[in-house]
Structure 1
Amino acid sequence: MGYKDLFDDVIFKRGMGYYSDDRVHHVKMDGHVLTGEVDGTKKYHCKITFDASGEVKKMSCDCPYGENGTPCKHEAALLVKFTYGDLPFLADGDEFDDFVAEVNEGTKNAFLAQLFRNDPRQLEAFKRFAHIALDEQDLMQMIAYMEGIVERNTAKGFIDYYAMPDFDEEMNSVFEDIHNCMEENRKHAFCLILATYDALLNVECDDSDGRLGMMFKHLGDYLGILLSDASQEELDIYYDKIMSLVKDPRCDDQEYLLNALTKVTVKEYVDRFNDAIENLMDDDDGFRDYTHFLIESHINNHAPIEQVLTEYHSLHPMLKRDMAKRVCNYLLDCEEYDLFEKELKQLLKEMPDRDNTEYMEMLKDFYKKIGNHQAYFKTLEDLFFKHPYNKDYYHEYKDVIGDDWNQKRNDIFNRIPESIGKKNIYFEEGMYDQLMSCLENFGSISDLEEYMDVLKDQYSDRLITAMAKDIDEMALRTSNRYTYRSIAYHMNRMLAIDGAKDTVISLLSKFRSKYRNRRAMQDELKAVEIALSEQA
């Protein structure tokens, strides 16, 4: 029974992989019908019908490929499992070594030759294992393999949402090739990245999960690594090819390619890139602002600070905010401390208070670095009272106040609004009476359980009352099994508190009577009855 010919080579190979990973389960043969489940992106159900001679007559799978009538890897995996049965188990890798050693060299050589003919990618893997350099034919094979994946997945013109995970999974092997080339052969890496980018520009799909976008991003990241130390000779070959992709009408978002090009450090091509950015802005009639790419390129090439700031100040406020951290860190690296402080303070004035925390923290750390203790403390204090429930700010603020903390603590706490966020500070300070009050007034059942272990001995009655109130309210406002299960869980958690058993029994009795028509709830409450019986 030769089933391999029913599938594309890559699909059959992936089916073999699923079989090897033991993903095929519940295999059953009923007359001429074979069924089974295969673990993929989710659990898929396959059905294969044979004719009287044992040949495959019909195959079906509820995966996106199978529903379109295309033979899929799940069906291949089921056929392999049906043919070869369960996987053999070898407890020790030495058994493999012993077996291979017993086979004569001629047989091994013939096997490898046949393996490489049937699957050239195995030849690539073998060359890497044997530290043999890949050649141009290997590169062409990798590109052809990538193009085959794209063509097969776009054969119907559009990749829908449910088929995108399988496409993404297949493309992972291409990115493995790129990663290996990055370490072995820069030319191969450049060629494979650009060929893949070009091929993906042809893909039309439902990218709601951003899978295609992430592929472009990863390609841009790899390209940026190569360009950061690219030679004049490499740029002579690849710069124009990259720019042709940037200008390609199919390329809706040039961000990843342009970000990669900002890493170029050879002066001739830095100048060409700067000119290209200017031309892009002219061509777009100001519709898009590409200035931030110029700034990134200037910083990477250690341009004069005046040039960087001129471009930075020309940015749209939103883009300026995005580039602020990069520009300010450049000023720090250049030890332009006065300019750093000036730019950051100006940014904080222009920025809404809700968005400025990251930049306030930069200013705080700057003052600490240069030894301006007064400005450091003032900025830290502003941060602490803006985010009083942030543990890092709390500990830093407390450490700076030092020995005076206990004396000033009450005044400091009085400045912080009462809310559930205060629980962390009360806990850290060992102020358990205030913690209990905070939880009673603002906490949820999960908050109460978070601190139950430290409160249950001293505040058991208040803890039981608060938990029972929350559980009762949960039951009143819900009607789904998940919440019913949570109610049962919380009631069982209450049983860990001394004296809570009677309250749990009372809640259980109330829920059995009041919500007797909620079958799902009544079902989940059995877990509470079991826990109570175990305590009896």
Structure 2
Amino acid sequence: MTIYDFEDYIDEIILDRGYDYYVGGNIIDIYNPGKNEYIFKIQGNDDYEVIVKLDDNGKILYSECNCPYDYGPVCKHQVAAFYKLVEIFFSSQNEASNVQKRAKEQQDIKQDIKEVLDSLSKEELIDILMDLIGEDETLKKRLVLRYSKVDSKQELIRCRKLINSIVKKYKGRDGFISYDETYDFASEMGDLLWKARDTEDIFLALDIAFLVLEEAIQAFEYADDSGGSIDLLISDAIEVIGDIITQSENLDANLKREIFNRLLTLSESKIFDGWESYRIDILWLCADFVDIEELRDKLVSKIEYLISNWSTKNRYGKHITEKLLQILYVIKERYGSREEIEQFVQEHLEFDFFKEVFIQKSFREKDYGKVIELALKWEEQDRQYPGLVSKWKKMRYEAYKKLSLKEEQMKLAKELLFDGNFEYYRELKELITGDRAEFYNNLKQELKSFEGWHGKDIYLKVILEENDLDELMEFVKENPTRIEEYADKLKDKFKDEVIEVYKKYIKLAASSSSNRKDYQRVCGILKRYKKIAGQQSQKEIINELMRLYKKRPAFIDELRKIK
């Protein structure tokens, strides 16, 4: 993915939100620490940092944002940065230096503020702080909670009050937290977890984390969590509980029992009804105490009881049962005999986890014939689940490899390749004993005519692997929207063809444009086209577009801006 074609790879909704951030001035700071390295400060619900590294051709080698978005590989803040990079790449050197100058000015302002605050008296600082707090009741409670010294009971009461205040603040009159405010809500709730981390009282820390966890799960009922902020808050709360438990390793047995019992009681809460995966997370934390036999027996009984209430006849019930059984398996591994472990696995081979455990045992014992037998059996059983079938095929392939069954390897490697696993192309190449060129050409034709949805992707990866520029040029001719991705690779050998495809792509983009954002995108393509075709060719196509779209003043306006 490059800064020229990233729009082809990113969800339309994320593109729109990122573009709004770009044109809306949400990029408030840019720093260029090294060649083709950029750090952006982008203002959203909070200030986020985006780091992007490029190669000389604009390929995005690395991109990361510290926002909590986890619903896809690229967030709206990264998209805003990508649009800004397109602008930067076509700006003058003077503009680039101005960006660094502005970044330096921002740093100087921060230093000035620090010096001013250092010069003020305690009373002056208090007055400033009180003015900033104003009538913000939630902020008042947060400050009191964070910096006052009271006993554990009072601390917990304050935490409850602060949580109620945060919920009331964001729910408002409608009783619902909108998508735009959910991140801020989760962020303020998350501040309480820092209190749990900072306190030396383990039981107070647990109680605070429990309060946050329970309210966060309830928040699914009154907040729009499309962005995943509440889910992330829940994960953070469970992580904090786990960290607290880790700190309890050196406690005496009685204190461990109390912590365990609190966790087990929490797992029984009705708050987890409908959110079983979170209940299972708590039960996994209970498993940290199974070195004490009575606690181990108690946990096993609890999990067996939960399993008895789930039906494995539906997919969800089977999934939850499997997750619960995994906890029991870990306990068996630690404290059961070899015979008990093997029997437990055998009894639960209807579950994918235990199938994998069983087949891995055959690998360890070098019983590759058994691996092949099991894999074939489960490929047939799980044929409606392509991901599982692929897993069993890969294990079967490894068994063939161990047994040096070259013919079987070749056949299965090809199946796996056509299933979308490109790594098996290299395996196939190593197995070829005849004419490699003939093999490659035959495979190309098969992939081109293959109707599976992986076909085009694998075909493209294969020709790129072989640096087959002739085939790549044909691919781009048939798929002109990919020209920017491969123009640099093709221009030396096929300059005229590349220019013609580029023209076709520009005209296609122009014909489907209907608003200023679209027109700006076309102009971006034209700027990049100039690098390939030259200024005169760029001017000719601009003039042609002006004639074709003379009734679209916004488009004409954008075209005139191109220099």
Q: TM-score, normalised by structure 2?
A: 0.61
Q: What's the offset of the Cα at 1:40? A: 5.7
Q: What's the offset of the Cα at 1:285? A: 7.3
Q: 1:512 aligned to 510, 528, 546, which one?
A: 546
Q: Find the residue that maps to 1:162 and give its secondary structure.
A: helix
Are positions 1:434 and 2:463 aligned together? no
Q: Could you tell me which amino acid in structure 2 is paired with residue 484 of structure 1?
A: Y
Q: Distance in 1 between matches of 2:540 and 2:345?
A: 71
Q: Distance in 2 between matches of 1:283 and 1:386?
A: 38
Q: Could you tell me which amino acid in structure 1 is paired with residue 224 of structure 2?
A: D
Are positions 1:195 and 2:211 aligned together? yes
Q: Distance in 2 between matches of 1:309 and 1:247?
A: 30
Q: What's the offset of the Cα at 1:468? A: 1.4
Higher relative contact order (CA 8 A, sep 6+): 2
Question: Could you give the per-residue CA deviations for residues 403-427 of structure 1, whole angstroms, max 9, x where no partner exists?
Answer: 9644632233333225753333323
- Quote the residue 1:497 is aligned against: 532
- Go from structure 1 to structure 2 and tell me whether the alpha carbon gap of 1:337 and 1:262 turns closer, same or farther (over 3 Å shift): farther
Q: Across the two proteins, how many residue pairs are aligned to each other?
A: 419
Tell whether the 8 Å contact from 1:328 to 1:340 is kept in structure 2 after alignment.
no
1:135-534 correspondence runs (5 A): 137=151, 141=155, 144-145=158-159, 147-154=161-168, 156=172, 157-180=175-198, 186-203=202-219, 204-209=221-226, 210-224=228-242, 232-252=253-273, 253-262=275-284, 264=287, 265-266=290-291, 267-282=293-308, 288-289=317-318, 290-301=320-331, 302=333, 304-313=341-350, 320-321=351-352, 323=353, 327=357, 331=361, 343-349=374-380, 350-352=382-384, 354-356=386-388, 359-360=391-392, 362-363=394-395, 366-367=398-399, 370=402, 372=404, 374=406, 378-387=411-420, 390=422, 392-399=423-430, 401=432, 405-406=436-437, 408-417=439-448, 420-421=456-457, 422-441=459-478, 443-445=479-481, 447-498=482-533, 501-502=536-537, 504-528=538-562, 530=563
Question: Could you give the per-residue CA deviations for residues 417-467 of structure 1, whole angstroms, max 9, x where no partner exists?
Answer: 2575333332332321121112112x233x212221222232122212222
Report the more deviating stretch, 161-170 or 266-275.
266-275
Q: Distance in 2 between matches of 1:333 and 1:262?
A: 28
- Go from structure 1 to structure 2 and tell me whether the alpha carbon gap of 1:456 and 1:237 turns closer, same or farther (over 3 Å shift): same
Q: Find the residue that maps to 1:458 and give its secondary structure.
A: coil
Q: Distance in 1 between matches of 2:185 and 2:374?
A: 46
1:118-137 correspondence runs (5 A): 119=143, 123=147, 137=151
Q: Distance in 2 between matches of 1:87 and 1:452?
A: 42
Q: Distance in 2 between matches of 1:142 and 1:332?
A: 53
Q: Distance in 1 between matches of 2:472 and 2:44?
A: 48
Tell whether the 8 Å contact from 1:168 to 1:211 is kept in structure 2 after alignment.
yes
Tell whether the 8 Å contact from 1:277 to 1:291 is kept in structure 2 after alignment.
no
Q: Distance in 2 between matches of 1:275 and 1:333?
A: 33
- Go from structure 1 to structure 2 and tell me whether the alpha carbon gap of 1:386 and 1:522 turns closer, same or farther (over 3 Å shift): same
- Go from structure 1 to structure 2 and tell me whether the alpha carbon gap of 1:206 and 1:472 turns closer, same or farther (over 3 Å shift): same
Report the more deviating stretch, 216-225 or 506-515.
216-225
- Go from structure 1 to structure 2 and tell me whether the alpha carbon gap of 1:214 and 1:340 turns closer, same or farther (over 3 Å shift): farther
- Go from structure 1 to structure 2 and tell me whether the alpha carbon gap of 1:330 and 1:221 turns closer, same or farther (over 3 Å shift): farther
Q: What's the offset of the Cα at 1:222? A: 4.2
Tell whether the 8 Å contact from 2:550 to 2:556 is kept in structure 1 after alignment.
yes
Q: Distance in 2 between matches of 1:468 and 1:461?
A: 11
Structure 1 residues not aligned, in runs of 5+: 1-22, 26-37, 44-85, 125-134, 314-319, 531-536
Question: Could you give the per-residue CA deviations for residues 205-261 of structure 1, whole angstroms, max 9, x where no partner exists?
Answer: 223323323323333344456668867535521333333333333333132222331
- Go from structure 1 to structure 2 and tell me whether the alpha carbon gap of 1:142 and 1:244 turns closer, same or farther (over 3 Å shift): closer
Q: Distance in 1 between matches of 2:241 and 2:142?
A: 32
Q: Distance in 1 between matches of 2:271 and 2:190?
A: 23
Tell whether the 8 Å contact from 1:207 to 1:213 is kept in structure 2 after alignment.
no
Q: TM-score, normalised by structure 1?
A: 0.63
Tell whether the 8 Å contact from 1:485 to 1:524 is kept in structure 2 after alignment.
yes
Q: Distance in 2 between matches of 1:330 and 1:235?
A: 35
- Quote the residue 2:57 is aligned against: none
Q: Could you tell me which amino acid in structure 1 is paired with residue 439 of structure 2?
A: K
Q: Distance in 2 between matches of 1:312 and 1:119?
A: 54
Q: Find the residue that maps to 2:223 and give its secondary structure.
A: coil
Q: Distance in 1 between matches of 2:201 and 2:402?
A: 45
Q: What's the offset of the Cα at 1:148? A: 0.7
Q: Could you tell me which amino acid in structure 2 is paired with residue 449 of structure 1?
A: E
Report the more deviating stretch, 467-476 or 376-385.
376-385
Tell whether the 8 Å contact from 2:166 to 2:185 is kept in structure 1 after alignment.
no
Tell whether the 8 Å contact from 1:235 to 1:269 is kept in structure 2 after alignment.
no
Q: Could you tell me which amino acid in structure 1 is paired with residue 329 of structure 2?
A: I
Tell whether the 8 Å contact from 1:467 to 1:494 is kept in structure 2 after alignment.
yes
Based on CA coordinates, which of the two structures has the bigger radius of gyration? Answer: 1
